[in-house]
A and B are shown apart, each in its own frame.
Chain A
Amino acid sequence: MAEDLVLDTAIRDWVLIPLSVVMVLIGVLRYFVSKLMRSYQVPDAKIVKEGQVIVRARNLRSGANFIPSKAFRARRIYFSNEENGLLFVPKGQAQNAQAQMFSDPNMAMDMMKKNLSMIIPQTLTFAWVNFFFSGFVAAKIPFPLTQRFRSMLQNGIDLSTVDVSYVSSRSWYFLNLFGLRGLFSLILGEENAMDDTQRMMQMSGFGFDPTKSLSAEKDGLDIVQHEWALPKFEQRAEAVLRKLVS
Protein backbone atom coordinates (compact mmCIF):
# COMPACT_ATOMS: atom_id res chain seq x y z
CA MET A 1 0.00 0.00 0.00
CA ALA A 2 1.51 3.30 -0.97
CA GLU A 3 1.91 6.00 1.60
CA ASP A 4 0.13 9.30 1.14
CA LEU A 5 1.51 11.06 -1.88
CA VAL A 6 2.15 14.73 -1.42
CA LEU A 7 1.10 16.70 -4.47
CA ASP A 8 3.16 19.72 -5.35
CA THR A 9 1.13 22.93 -5.39
CA ALA A 10 2.81 23.69 -8.70
CA ILE A 11 0.84 20.78 -10.15
CA ARG A 12 -2.35 22.50 -9.13
CA ASP A 13 -1.23 25.81 -10.59
CA TRP A 14 0.26 24.49 -13.81
CA VAL A 15 -1.75 21.37 -14.60
CA LEU A 16 -5.10 21.16 -12.90
CA ILE A 17 -6.30 24.72 -13.33
CA PRO A 18 -4.86 25.36 -16.82
CA LEU A 19 -6.38 22.13 -18.06
CA SER A 20 -9.85 23.12 -16.87
CA VAL A 21 -9.51 26.66 -18.17
CA VAL A 22 -8.36 25.44 -21.56
CA MET A 23 -11.26 23.01 -21.77
CA VAL A 24 -13.75 25.78 -21.02
CA LEU A 25 -12.17 28.16 -23.50
CA ILE A 26 -12.13 25.53 -26.21
CA GLY A 27 -15.76 24.79 -25.56
CA VAL A 28 -16.66 28.45 -25.95
CA LEU A 29 -14.52 28.79 -29.05
CA ARG A 30 -16.09 25.73 -30.59
CA TYR A 31 -19.53 27.16 -29.95
CA PHE A 32 -18.70 30.32 -31.84
CA VAL A 33 -17.01 28.47 -34.67
CA SER A 34 -19.95 26.14 -35.14
CA LYS A 35 -22.23 29.17 -35.04
CA LEU A 36 -20.27 30.69 -37.87
CA MET A 37 -20.32 27.52 -39.92
CA ARG A 38 -23.94 26.71 -39.38
CA SER A 39 -25.80 26.93 -42.64
CA TYR A 40 -29.47 27.66 -42.64
CA GLN A 41 -31.29 24.68 -43.95
CA VAL A 42 -34.52 25.24 -45.77
CA PRO A 43 -36.85 22.55 -44.51
CA ASP A 44 -38.27 20.33 -47.17
CA ALA A 45 -42.01 20.73 -47.60
CA LYS A 46 -42.46 17.01 -48.02
CA ILE A 47 -40.72 16.18 -44.77
CA VAL A 48 -42.66 18.81 -42.85
CA LYS A 49 -45.88 17.49 -44.31
CA GLU A 50 -45.04 13.91 -43.41
CA GLY A 51 -44.41 14.94 -39.82
CA GLN A 52 -47.74 16.71 -39.68
CA VAL A 53 -49.56 13.77 -41.26
CA ILE A 54 -48.16 11.53 -38.59
CA VAL A 55 -49.30 13.84 -35.82
CA ARG A 56 -52.78 14.05 -37.27
CA ALA A 57 -53.04 10.30 -37.81
CA ARG A 58 -51.92 9.73 -34.26
CA ASN A 59 -54.60 12.14 -33.05
CA LEU A 60 -57.15 10.24 -35.07
CA ARG A 61 -56.05 6.96 -33.56
CA SER A 62 -56.15 8.19 -29.98
CA GLY A 63 -59.29 10.27 -30.25
CA ALA A 64 -61.19 7.96 -32.60
CA ASN A 65 -63.91 7.24 -30.09
CA PHE A 66 -64.87 10.87 -29.76
CA ILE A 67 -66.19 11.34 -33.28
CA PRO A 68 -69.11 9.61 -34.96
CA SER A 69 -68.23 6.43 -36.78
CA LYS A 70 -69.12 7.85 -40.15
CA ALA A 71 -66.59 10.63 -39.67
CA PHE A 72 -64.02 8.17 -38.45
CA ARG A 73 -64.43 5.85 -41.41
CA ALA A 74 -64.14 8.72 -43.87
CA ARG A 75 -60.93 9.82 -42.26
CA ARG A 76 -59.47 6.35 -42.12
CA ILE A 77 -60.01 5.90 -45.82
CA TYR A 78 -58.53 9.31 -46.45
CA PHE A 79 -55.40 8.35 -44.57
CA SER A 80 -54.82 4.76 -45.52
CA ASN A 81 -56.39 3.90 -48.86
CA GLU A 82 -54.12 2.11 -51.28
CA GLU A 83 -54.31 4.62 -54.08
CA ASN A 84 -53.55 8.07 -52.74
CA GLY A 85 -53.93 7.85 -49.00
CA LEU A 86 -51.72 10.18 -47.04
CA LEU A 87 -50.09 7.39 -45.09
CA PHE A 88 -49.68 5.06 -48.01
CA VAL A 89 -46.13 4.83 -49.31
CA PRO A 90 -45.75 3.32 -52.76
CA LYS A 91 -43.28 0.46 -52.83
CA GLY A 92 -40.57 1.86 -55.05
CA GLN A 93 -40.76 5.34 -53.68
CA ALA A 94 -39.47 4.49 -50.28
CA GLN A 95 -35.98 5.73 -50.74
CA ASN A 96 -33.62 4.89 -48.02
CA ALA A 97 -31.75 7.50 -46.10
CA GLN A 98 -28.37 6.32 -47.25
CA ALA A 99 -29.17 6.92 -50.88
CA GLN A 100 -30.69 10.24 -50.01
CA MET A 101 -27.52 11.26 -48.26
CA PHE A 102 -25.40 10.52 -51.29
CA SER A 103 -27.74 12.31 -53.62
CA ASP A 104 -27.68 15.45 -51.55
CA PRO A 105 -24.16 16.85 -51.15
CA ASN A 106 -25.39 19.51 -48.74
CA MET A 107 -26.31 16.90 -46.22
CA ALA A 108 -22.89 15.29 -46.29
CA MET A 109 -21.34 18.73 -46.07
CA ASP A 110 -23.35 19.57 -43.01
CA MET A 111 -22.38 16.37 -41.34
CA MET A 112 -18.76 16.99 -42.10
CA LYS A 113 -18.91 20.46 -40.62
CA LYS A 114 -20.47 19.14 -37.48
CA ASN A 115 -17.89 16.43 -37.27
CA LEU A 116 -15.01 18.78 -37.88
CA SER A 117 -16.04 21.17 -35.17
CA MET A 118 -16.30 18.23 -32.81
CA ILE A 119 -13.36 16.05 -33.70
CA ILE A 120 -10.59 18.51 -34.48
CA PRO A 121 -10.52 20.35 -31.16
CA GLN A 122 -10.93 17.08 -29.33
CA THR A 123 -7.97 15.41 -30.99
CA LEU A 124 -5.86 18.50 -30.55
CA THR A 125 -6.57 18.88 -26.85
CA PHE A 126 -6.13 15.19 -26.28
CA ALA A 127 -2.76 15.23 -28.03
CA TRP A 128 -1.78 18.30 -26.05
CA VAL A 129 -2.74 16.73 -22.75
CA ASN A 130 -0.99 13.51 -23.66
CA PHE A 131 2.18 15.25 -24.71
CA PHE A 132 2.59 17.57 -21.76
CA PHE A 133 0.87 15.96 -18.86
CA SER A 134 1.03 12.23 -19.40
CA GLY A 135 1.59 10.29 -16.24
CA PHE A 136 0.81 13.14 -13.86
CA VAL A 137 -1.15 12.64 -10.75
CA ALA A 138 -3.05 15.88 -10.90
CA ALA A 139 -5.48 15.82 -8.03
CA LYS A 140 -6.77 13.85 -5.11
CA ILE A 141 -10.42 13.51 -4.37
CA PRO A 142 -11.24 13.78 -0.68
CA PHE A 143 -12.96 10.41 -0.26
CA PRO A 144 -11.94 6.81 -0.86
CA LEU A 145 -13.24 4.85 -3.83
CA THR A 146 -13.31 1.21 -4.83
CA GLN A 147 -10.94 -0.42 -7.31
CA ARG A 148 -13.46 -0.24 -10.10
CA PHE A 149 -12.96 3.49 -10.43
CA ARG A 150 -9.31 2.99 -11.23
CA SER A 151 -9.83 2.86 -14.98
CA MET A 152 -11.94 5.98 -14.81
CA LEU A 153 -9.75 8.10 -12.57
CA GLN A 154 -6.26 6.85 -13.29
CA ASN A 155 -6.20 6.63 -17.04
CA GLY A 156 -2.59 6.76 -18.14
CA ILE A 157 -1.01 5.57 -14.91
CA ASP A 158 -0.34 1.87 -14.84
CA LEU A 159 0.38 1.47 -11.19
CA SER A 160 -1.88 -0.71 -9.13
CA THR A 161 -0.43 0.50 -5.86
CA VAL A 162 -1.56 4.09 -6.09
CA ASP A 163 -4.69 4.75 -4.09
CA VAL A 164 -7.80 5.12 -6.26
CA SER A 165 -8.65 8.57 -4.95
CA TYR A 166 -5.77 10.08 -6.94
CA VAL A 167 -6.79 11.44 -10.32
CA SER A 168 -4.43 11.35 -13.28
CA SER A 169 -4.23 14.30 -15.62
CA ARG A 170 -5.63 12.41 -18.57
CA SER A 171 -8.61 11.34 -16.51
CA TRP A 172 -9.04 14.91 -15.38
CA TYR A 173 -9.25 15.82 -19.07
CA PHE A 174 -11.99 13.26 -19.64
CA LEU A 175 -13.88 14.34 -16.57
CA ASN A 176 -13.82 17.90 -17.86
CA LEU A 177 -14.79 16.87 -21.36
CA PHE A 178 -17.99 15.23 -20.21
CA GLY A 179 -18.70 17.23 -17.11
CA LEU A 180 -18.60 20.83 -18.28
CA ARG A 181 -22.07 20.83 -19.80
CA GLY A 182 -23.62 22.53 -16.80
CA LEU A 183 -21.02 25.27 -16.94
CA PHE A 184 -21.57 25.80 -20.65
CA SER A 185 -25.28 26.14 -20.17
CA LEU A 186 -24.50 28.90 -17.67
CA ILE A 187 -22.04 30.67 -19.94
CA LEU A 188 -23.68 30.25 -23.32
CA GLY A 189 -27.32 30.02 -22.32
CA GLU A 190 -29.58 27.01 -21.95
CA GLU A 191 -30.06 25.81 -25.46
CA ASN A 192 -26.50 26.42 -26.62
CA ALA A 193 -24.93 23.87 -24.38
CA MET A 194 -24.36 21.07 -26.79
CA ASP A 195 -22.00 18.62 -25.29
CA ASP A 196 -20.36 15.82 -27.09
CA THR A 197 -22.42 13.05 -25.61
CA GLN A 198 -25.57 14.66 -26.93
CA ARG A 199 -24.01 15.20 -30.30
CA MET A 200 -23.02 11.58 -30.52
CA MET A 201 -26.56 10.61 -29.80
CA GLN A 202 -27.76 12.80 -32.65
CA MET A 203 -25.30 11.16 -34.97
CA SER A 204 -26.62 7.72 -34.21
CA GLY A 205 -30.16 8.98 -34.75
CA PHE A 206 -29.22 9.90 -38.26
CA GLY A 207 -30.51 7.81 -41.08
CA PHE A 208 -33.98 7.92 -39.61
CA ASP A 209 -36.52 7.03 -42.23
CA PRO A 210 -39.84 8.90 -42.15
CA THR A 211 -41.54 6.50 -44.54
CA LYS A 212 -41.18 3.76 -41.94
CA SER A 213 -43.11 5.69 -39.34
CA LEU A 214 -45.72 6.49 -41.97
CA SER A 215 -46.39 2.86 -42.69
CA ALA A 216 -46.26 2.01 -38.98
CA GLU A 217 -48.90 4.64 -38.37
CA LYS A 218 -50.96 3.21 -41.22
CA ASP A 219 -50.86 -0.26 -39.69
CA GLY A 220 -51.86 1.18 -36.35
CA LEU A 221 -54.76 3.00 -37.91
CA ASP A 222 -55.92 -0.07 -39.79
CA ILE A 223 -56.45 -2.12 -36.67
CA VAL A 224 -58.25 0.53 -34.62
CA GLN A 225 -61.69 -0.61 -33.60
CA HIS A 226 -64.06 2.29 -33.60
CA GLU A 227 -66.42 2.42 -30.69
CA TRP A 228 -68.20 5.72 -30.31
CA ALA A 229 -67.77 6.93 -26.77
CA LEU A 230 -70.46 9.55 -26.87
CA PRO A 231 -73.54 7.41 -26.04
CA LYS A 232 -71.95 6.79 -22.67
CA PHE A 233 -71.71 10.49 -22.11
CA GLU A 234 -75.48 10.84 -21.90
CA GLN A 235 -75.54 8.68 -18.82
CA ARG A 236 -72.56 10.45 -17.39
CA ALA A 237 -74.21 13.80 -18.01
CA GLU A 238 -77.31 12.54 -16.25
CA ALA A 239 -75.24 11.54 -13.26
CA VAL A 240 -73.52 14.90 -13.18
CA LEU A 241 -76.80 16.78 -13.39
CA ARG A 242 -78.42 14.63 -10.75
CA LYS A 243 -75.64 15.49 -8.40
CA LEU A 244 -75.94 19.15 -9.34
CA VAL A 245 -79.70 19.39 -8.89
CA SER A 246 -80.00 17.43 -5.70
Chain B
Amino acid sequence: MVTKTEETQLNRLESQVEHGGGGAWDYLCLVRKLKVRRSDKVLKYGLSILNDPKKRSGLGAEEWTLYEQVAIAAMDCQCLDVAKDCINVLQKRFPESKRVGRLEGMLLEAKGSWAEAENAYASLLEDNPLDQVIHKRRVALAKAQGNLPGAIEFLNKYLEIFMADSDAWRELAEIYVSLQMYKQAAFCYEELILAQPTVPLYHLAYADVLYTLGGLENLQAAKKYYSSTVDLTGGKNTRALFGVCLCTSAITQLTKGRNKEDSPDLQSLATAALEKDYKQRASDKVSVLASALKSLKVSS
Protein backbone atom coordinates (compact mmCIF):
# COMPACT_ATOMS: atom_id res chain seq x y z
CA MET B 1 0.00 0.00 0.00
CA VAL B 2 1.31 3.44 -0.92
CA THR B 3 0.49 6.02 1.70
CA LYS B 4 -0.39 9.57 0.90
CA THR B 5 2.89 11.07 2.11
CA GLU B 6 4.85 8.58 0.07
CA GLU B 7 2.81 9.39 -2.98
CA THR B 8 3.33 13.13 -2.65
CA GLN B 9 7.04 12.52 -2.15
CA LEU B 10 7.10 10.40 -5.27
CA ASN B 11 5.26 12.99 -7.32
CA ARG B 12 7.50 15.76 -6.06
CA LEU B 13 10.61 13.80 -6.99
CA GLU B 14 9.13 12.97 -10.35
CA SER B 15 8.45 16.56 -11.27
CA GLN B 16 11.89 17.52 -9.99
CA VAL B 17 13.52 14.94 -12.23
CA GLU B 18 11.32 15.95 -15.12
CA HIS B 19 12.44 19.55 -14.92
CA GLY B 20 16.09 18.61 -14.86
CA GLY B 21 16.54 19.03 -11.13
CA GLY B 22 18.50 15.83 -10.71
CA GLY B 23 17.70 13.12 -8.22
CA ALA B 24 16.91 10.52 -10.85
CA TRP B 25 18.52 7.76 -8.82
CA ASP B 26 16.54 8.65 -5.71
CA TYR B 27 13.39 8.62 -7.78
CA LEU B 28 14.18 5.18 -9.15
CA CYS B 29 14.93 3.89 -5.67
CA LEU B 30 11.62 5.19 -4.41
CA VAL B 31 9.73 3.65 -7.31
CA ARG B 32 11.36 0.35 -6.56
CA LYS B 33 10.65 0.58 -2.87
CA LEU B 34 6.99 1.47 -3.30
CA LYS B 35 6.59 -1.02 -6.16
CA VAL B 36 4.63 1.45 -8.25
CA ARG B 37 4.30 1.06 -11.97
CA ARG B 38 5.75 4.03 -13.81
CA SER B 39 7.56 2.09 -16.45
CA ASP B 40 7.93 4.89 -19.01
CA LYS B 41 9.62 7.18 -16.52
CA VAL B 42 11.79 4.42 -15.12
CA LEU B 43 12.88 3.47 -18.60
CA LYS B 44 13.73 7.06 -19.53
CA TYR B 45 15.66 8.06 -16.42
CA GLY B 46 17.13 4.63 -15.81
CA LEU B 47 18.55 4.52 -19.31
CA SER B 48 19.97 8.02 -18.94
CA ILE B 49 21.91 6.79 -15.92
CA LEU B 50 22.96 3.53 -17.53
CA ASN B 51 24.18 5.26 -20.70
CA ASP B 52 26.41 7.59 -18.73
CA PRO B 53 29.47 5.54 -17.71
CA LYS B 54 30.45 7.97 -14.97
CA LYS B 55 27.08 7.95 -13.28
CA ARG B 56 26.77 4.22 -13.74
CA SER B 57 30.03 3.38 -12.03
CA GLY B 58 29.08 5.74 -9.23
CA LEU B 59 26.33 3.38 -8.22
CA GLY B 60 28.64 0.55 -7.24
CA ALA B 61 26.87 -2.73 -6.71
CA GLU B 62 23.49 -1.06 -7.13
CA GLU B 63 24.23 -0.89 -10.85
CA TRP B 64 22.91 -4.41 -11.33
CA THR B 65 19.70 -3.68 -9.51
CA LEU B 66 19.18 -0.77 -11.85
CA TYR B 67 19.77 -3.00 -14.87
CA GLU B 68 17.07 -5.33 -13.59
CA GLN B 69 14.66 -2.49 -12.92
CA VAL B 70 15.20 -0.97 -16.36
CA ALA B 71 14.86 -4.36 -18.02
CA ILE B 72 11.46 -4.93 -16.45
CA ALA B 73 10.32 -1.41 -17.26
CA ALA B 74 11.48 -1.83 -20.86
CA MET B 75 9.47 -5.03 -21.20
CA ASP B 76 6.47 -3.19 -19.86
CA CYS B 77 6.97 -0.51 -22.55
CA GLN B 78 7.61 -3.11 -25.25
CA CYS B 79 11.15 -1.85 -25.82
CA LEU B 80 12.30 -5.42 -26.16
CA ASP B 81 15.73 -4.51 -27.57
CA VAL B 82 16.57 -2.44 -24.53
CA ALA B 83 15.37 -5.20 -22.24
CA LYS B 84 17.44 -7.73 -24.13
CA ASP B 85 20.56 -5.60 -23.80
CA CYS B 86 20.06 -5.19 -20.07
CA ILE B 87 19.49 -8.89 -19.59
CA ASN B 88 22.57 -9.72 -21.65
CA VAL B 89 24.69 -7.50 -19.43
CA LEU B 90 23.28 -9.17 -16.34
CA GLN B 91 23.72 -12.60 -17.88
CA LYS B 92 27.38 -11.88 -18.47
CA ARG B 93 27.86 -10.69 -14.93
CA PHE B 94 25.80 -13.38 -13.20
CA PRO B 95 25.78 -16.56 -15.25
CA GLU B 96 23.59 -19.30 -13.78
CA SER B 97 21.60 -16.82 -11.71
CA LYS B 98 17.98 -17.70 -11.05
CA ARG B 99 17.07 -14.06 -10.94
CA VAL B 100 18.42 -13.49 -14.44
CA GLY B 101 16.68 -16.66 -15.53
CA ARG B 102 13.45 -15.17 -14.33
CA LEU B 103 14.11 -12.05 -16.38
CA GLU B 104 14.73 -14.18 -19.47
CA GLY B 105 11.44 -15.94 -18.89
CA MET B 106 9.75 -12.58 -18.66
CA LEU B 107 11.35 -11.48 -21.90
CA LEU B 108 9.99 -14.56 -23.64
CA GLU B 109 6.64 -13.71 -22.14
CA ALA B 110 6.84 -10.14 -23.39
CA LYS B 111 7.64 -11.41 -26.87
CA GLY B 112 4.52 -13.52 -26.74
CA SER B 113 6.25 -16.88 -27.04
CA TRP B 114 4.08 -18.42 -24.38
CA ALA B 115 5.19 -22.00 -24.63
CA GLU B 116 8.87 -21.15 -24.28
CA ALA B 117 8.21 -18.86 -21.34
CA GLU B 118 6.15 -21.59 -19.71
CA ASN B 119 9.03 -24.02 -20.13
CA ALA B 120 11.51 -21.54 -18.69
CA TYR B 121 9.36 -20.95 -15.63
CA ALA B 122 8.72 -24.63 -15.15
CA SER B 123 12.42 -25.41 -15.13
CA LEU B 124 13.07 -22.56 -12.69
CA LEU B 125 10.37 -23.87 -10.41
CA GLU B 126 11.96 -27.29 -10.44
CA ASP B 127 15.05 -25.82 -8.85
CA ASN B 128 13.19 -23.78 -6.32
CA PRO B 129 9.56 -24.81 -5.96
CA LEU B 130 8.84 -22.03 -3.46
CA ASP B 131 9.66 -19.05 -5.66
CA GLN B 132 6.64 -16.81 -5.21
CA VAL B 133 7.45 -14.49 -8.10
CA ILE B 134 7.62 -17.32 -10.61
CA HIS B 135 4.35 -18.78 -9.35
CA LYS B 136 2.75 -15.42 -9.93
CA ARG B 137 4.32 -15.07 -13.36
CA ARG B 138 2.77 -18.35 -14.35
CA VAL B 139 -0.62 -17.08 -13.32
CA ALA B 140 -0.03 -13.92 -15.34
CA LEU B 141 1.08 -16.05 -18.26
CA ALA B 142 -2.10 -18.08 -18.19
CA LYS B 143 -4.14 -14.93 -17.87
CA ALA B 144 -2.37 -13.26 -20.78
CA GLN B 145 -3.29 -16.17 -23.00
CA GLY B 146 -6.90 -15.82 -21.98
CA ASN B 147 -6.73 -19.13 -20.19
CA LEU B 148 -8.68 -18.08 -17.11
CA PRO B 149 -9.40 -21.59 -15.80
CA GLY B 150 -5.68 -22.27 -16.05
CA ALA B 151 -4.93 -19.10 -14.11
CA ILE B 152 -7.38 -20.19 -11.44
CA GLU B 153 -5.70 -23.56 -11.23
CA PHE B 154 -2.26 -22.00 -10.82
CA LEU B 155 -3.54 -19.53 -8.25
CA ASN B 156 -5.17 -22.26 -6.24
CA LYS B 157 -1.98 -24.25 -6.28
CA TYR B 158 -0.08 -21.18 -5.14
CA LEU B 159 -2.58 -20.35 -2.41
CA GLU B 160 -2.43 -23.87 -1.08
CA ILE B 161 1.04 -23.05 0.19
CA PHE B 162 1.04 -19.26 0.50
CA MET B 163 -2.43 -18.93 1.87
CA ALA B 164 -1.79 -15.68 3.68
CA ASP B 165 -1.06 -13.74 0.49
CA SER B 166 -3.98 -11.38 0.19
CA ASP B 167 -2.95 -10.02 -3.20
CA ALA B 168 -3.31 -13.49 -4.63
CA TRP B 169 -6.72 -13.88 -3.03
CA ARG B 170 -7.77 -10.61 -4.59
CA GLU B 171 -6.60 -11.66 -8.03
CA LEU B 172 -8.45 -14.94 -7.66
CA ALA B 173 -11.60 -13.12 -6.58
CA GLU B 174 -11.48 -10.86 -9.61
CA ILE B 175 -10.97 -13.78 -11.97
CA TYR B 176 -13.90 -15.61 -10.41
CA VAL B 177 -16.09 -12.54 -10.79
CA SER B 178 -15.15 -12.22 -14.43
CA LEU B 179 -16.11 -15.86 -14.93
CA GLN B 180 -19.37 -15.27 -13.01
CA MET B 181 -18.43 -17.83 -10.39
CA TYR B 182 -19.83 -15.69 -7.62
CA LYS B 183 -19.88 -18.23 -4.81
CA GLN B 184 -16.17 -18.81 -5.17
CA ALA B 185 -15.55 -15.08 -5.47
CA ALA B 186 -17.52 -14.52 -2.27
CA PHE B 187 -15.23 -16.93 -0.47
CA CYS B 188 -12.18 -15.03 -1.68
CA TYR B 189 -13.60 -11.71 -0.60
CA GLU B 190 -14.40 -13.15 2.83
CA GLU B 191 -10.77 -14.15 3.05
CA LEU B 192 -9.72 -10.60 2.13
CA ILE B 193 -12.05 -9.09 4.70
CA LEU B 194 -10.57 -11.39 7.32
CA ALA B 195 -7.06 -10.35 6.41
CA GLN B 196 -7.82 -6.61 6.38
CA PRO B 197 -11.16 -5.95 8.04
CA THR B 198 -10.93 -2.17 7.73
CA VAL B 199 -10.46 -1.83 3.99
CA PRO B 200 -13.80 -0.60 2.63
CA LEU B 201 -13.04 -1.75 -0.90
CA TYR B 202 -13.26 -5.40 0.12
CA HIS B 203 -16.53 -4.83 1.92
CA LEU B 204 -17.88 -3.13 -1.17
CA ALA B 205 -16.75 -5.85 -3.53
CA TYR B 206 -18.12 -8.55 -1.24
CA ALA B 207 -21.44 -6.72 -1.09
CA ASP B 208 -21.51 -6.53 -4.88
CA VAL B 209 -20.98 -10.26 -5.14
CA LEU B 210 -23.65 -11.00 -2.55
CA TYR B 211 -26.12 -8.72 -4.28
CA THR B 212 -25.44 -10.42 -7.59
CA LEU B 213 -25.95 -13.84 -6.02
CA GLY B 214 -29.41 -12.75 -4.93
CA GLY B 215 -31.81 -14.43 -2.55
CA LEU B 216 -33.20 -12.81 0.57
CA GLU B 217 -30.42 -13.83 2.91
CA ASN B 218 -27.66 -12.70 0.56
CA LEU B 219 -29.43 -9.43 -0.15
CA GLN B 220 -29.71 -8.66 3.53
CA ALA B 221 -26.05 -9.48 4.02
CA ALA B 222 -25.17 -7.34 1.00
CA LYS B 223 -27.07 -4.44 2.50
CA LYS B 224 -25.13 -4.84 5.72
CA TYR B 225 -21.83 -4.83 3.88
CA TYR B 226 -22.86 -1.78 1.86
CA SER B 227 -23.68 -0.07 5.14
CA SER B 228 -20.33 -1.01 6.58
CA THR B 229 -18.70 0.49 3.49
CA VAL B 230 -20.73 3.65 4.05
CA ASP B 231 -19.54 3.70 7.62
CA LEU B 232 -15.89 3.04 6.78
CA THR B 233 -15.79 5.68 4.04
CA GLY B 234 -17.79 8.22 5.97
CA GLY B 235 -20.59 8.17 3.39
CA LYS B 236 -18.33 9.28 0.55
CA ASN B 237 -18.68 6.18 -1.56
CA THR B 238 -21.39 6.65 -4.17
CA ARG B 239 -21.44 3.01 -5.18
CA ALA B 240 -22.13 1.94 -1.62
CA LEU B 241 -24.98 4.46 -1.31
CA PHE B 242 -26.56 3.18 -4.52
CA GLY B 243 -26.02 -0.34 -3.23
CA VAL B 244 -27.95 0.39 -0.08
CA CYS B 245 -30.88 1.74 -2.13
CA LEU B 246 -30.84 -1.19 -4.53
CA CYS B 247 -30.68 -3.75 -1.75
CA THR B 248 -33.51 -2.17 0.18
CA SER B 249 -35.80 -2.07 -2.81
CA ALA B 250 -34.90 -5.63 -3.77
CA ILE B 251 -35.60 -6.83 -0.25
CA THR B 252 -38.97 -5.10 -0.07
CA GLN B 253 -39.83 -6.59 -3.41
CA LEU B 254 -39.01 -10.07 -2.16
CA THR B 255 -40.75 -9.76 1.18
CA LYS B 256 -43.69 -7.74 -0.24
CA GLY B 257 -43.46 -5.24 2.59
CA ARG B 258 -43.66 -7.86 5.30
CA ASN B 259 -40.16 -6.98 6.31
CA LYS B 260 -40.11 -6.00 9.94
CA GLU B 261 -36.50 -6.17 11.02
CA ASP B 262 -35.00 -3.42 8.88
CA SER B 263 -35.60 0.18 9.65
CA PRO B 264 -36.64 2.14 6.58
CA ASP B 265 -34.49 5.11 7.54
CA LEU B 266 -31.33 3.86 5.95
CA GLN B 267 -32.65 4.01 2.43
CA SER B 268 -34.11 7.48 2.73
CA LEU B 269 -30.90 8.69 4.31
CA ALA B 270 -28.84 7.12 1.54
CA THR B 271 -31.10 8.76 -1.03
CA ALA B 272 -30.71 12.11 0.64
CA ALA B 273 -26.96 11.73 0.79
CA LEU B 274 -26.88 10.81 -2.89
CA GLU B 275 -29.00 13.80 -3.83
CA LYS B 276 -26.83 16.12 -1.83
CA ASP B 277 -23.67 14.70 -3.35
CA TYR B 278 -25.00 14.99 -6.89
CA LYS B 279 -26.16 18.55 -6.33
CA GLN B 280 -22.72 19.49 -5.15
CA ARG B 281 -20.62 17.74 -7.71
CA ALA B 282 -22.72 17.04 -10.80
CA SER B 283 -25.74 19.29 -10.76
CA ASP B 284 -26.63 18.52 -14.37
CA LYS B 285 -27.11 14.84 -13.52
CA VAL B 286 -29.60 15.45 -10.70
CA SER B 287 -32.58 14.77 -12.92
CA VAL B 288 -31.10 11.46 -14.05
CA LEU B 289 -30.53 10.51 -10.44
CA ALA B 290 -34.06 11.48 -9.49
CA SER B 291 -35.58 9.31 -12.19
CA ALA B 292 -33.30 6.40 -11.28
CA LEU B 293 -34.23 6.60 -7.63
CA LYS B 294 -37.89 6.98 -8.54
CA SER B 295 -37.82 3.79 -10.55
CA LEU B 296 -36.48 2.03 -7.47
CA LYS B 297 -39.26 3.39 -5.33
CA VAL B 298 -41.96 2.63 -7.84
CA SER B 299 -40.96 -0.97 -7.96
CA SER B 300 -41.16 -1.27 -4.20
Contacts and interface: CB of A to CB of B under 8 A. Distances in A.
A193 B12 CA distance: 33
B227 A236 contact: yes
Given A52-B163, A230-B221, A238 B194 contact: no
Given A240-B231, A240-B235, A48 B161 contact: yes
Interface in A28-60: 42-43, 45, 48-49, 52-53, 55-56, 59-60
A231 B165 CA distance: 28
Contacts of B193: 63, 66-67
Main secondary structure of the interface of B (DSSP, over half): helix
A56 B273 contact: no
B234 interface: yes
A234 B266 contact: yes
Interface string B141-173: 000000000000000000011111100000000
A75 B234 CA distance: 31
A117 B231 CA distance: 57
Contacts of A59: 164, 194-195
Contact of A66 (B128, B165, B194, B270): B194
B44 interface: no
A230 B276 CA distance: 26
A71 interface: yes
A238 B128 contact: no
B228 interface: yes
B129 interface: yes
B190 A71 contact: yes
Nearest to A65: B197
Contacts of B228: 230, 233, 236-237
Interface string A203-246: 00000000000000000000000000011011011101110110
Interface in A57-94: 59-60, 62-64, 66-68, 71, 75
B266 A45 contact: no
Contacts of A236: 227-228, 231
Contacts of B221: 68, 230
A244 B224 contact: no
A238 B223 CA distance: 12
Interface of B: 128-130, 160-165, 187, 190-191, 193-195, 197, 221, 223-225, 227-228, 230-231, 234-235, 244, 262-263, 265-266, 269-270, 272-273, 276
